[in-house]
Structure 1
Amino acid sequence: MLTALATFQLLLAAGLPFGRFAWGGQHPVLPPRLRVGSMLAVVTYAIFAFIALERVDVTNVFTDPLVAVITMWVIAGYLMLSVLPNLASKSAKEKRVMVPVSLTLGILATLIAVG
Structure 2
Amino acid sequence: MVLIVLTSAIVFTVLILIVILFQMALAAGVPWGEYAMGGKFPGKYPIAMRFACLFQIAILAFIGIIVLSKSGLLLPEWSAFADIAIWFIVAYLILGTILNLITRSVWERRIWANVTIVMLITSIIIATS
Structure-2 residue corresponding to 1:48: 63
Amino acid at match of 1:89: T
Structure-2 residue corresponding to 1:35: 50
Structure-1 residue corresponding to 2:8: none
Amino acid at match of 1:55: K
Alignment equivalent of 1:60, drawn from 43, 56, 76: 76
Normalised to the residue count of structure 1, the TM-score between the two structures is: 0.90
Between the aligned partners of 2:48 and 2:30, the Cα distance in structure 1 is 15
Q: Is the 8 A contact 1:23 1:34 kept in 2?
A: no
Work out whether 1:69 is the aligned partner of 2:83. yes
Report the 3-state secondary structure (helix = DSSP H, G, I; strand = E; otherwise coil) of the residue aligned with 2:76: coil
Aligned-pair CA distance for 1:66: 3.2
- Identity in percent: 28
Between the aligned partners of 2:40 and 2:85, the Cα distance in structure 1 is 32
Alignment equivalent of 2:126, drawn from 100, 112, 115: 112
Q: Is the 8 A contact 1:80 1:107 kept in 2?
A: no
Amino acid at match of 2:77: V
Aligned-pair CA distance for 1:57: 1.6
Runs of 4+ in 1 over 4 A off after TM superposition: none
Aligned-pair CA distance for 1:73: 1.2
Normalised to the residue count of structure 2, the TM-score between the two structures is: 0.81
Which consecutive residues of structure 1, in runs of 5 or more, have no partner in the other structure?
none
> Following superposition of structure 1 onto structure 2, how do residues 17-32 of structure 1 map, counting pairs within 5 Å?
17-27=31-41, 28-32=43-47
Between the aligned partners of 2:19 and 2:30, the Cα distance in structure 1 is 14
Work out whether 1:97 is the aligned partner of 2:97. no
Aligned-pair CA distance for 1:104: 1.1
Between the aligned partners of 1:40 and 1:104, the Cα distance in structure 2 is 23
Greater helix share, 1 or 2? Answer: 2
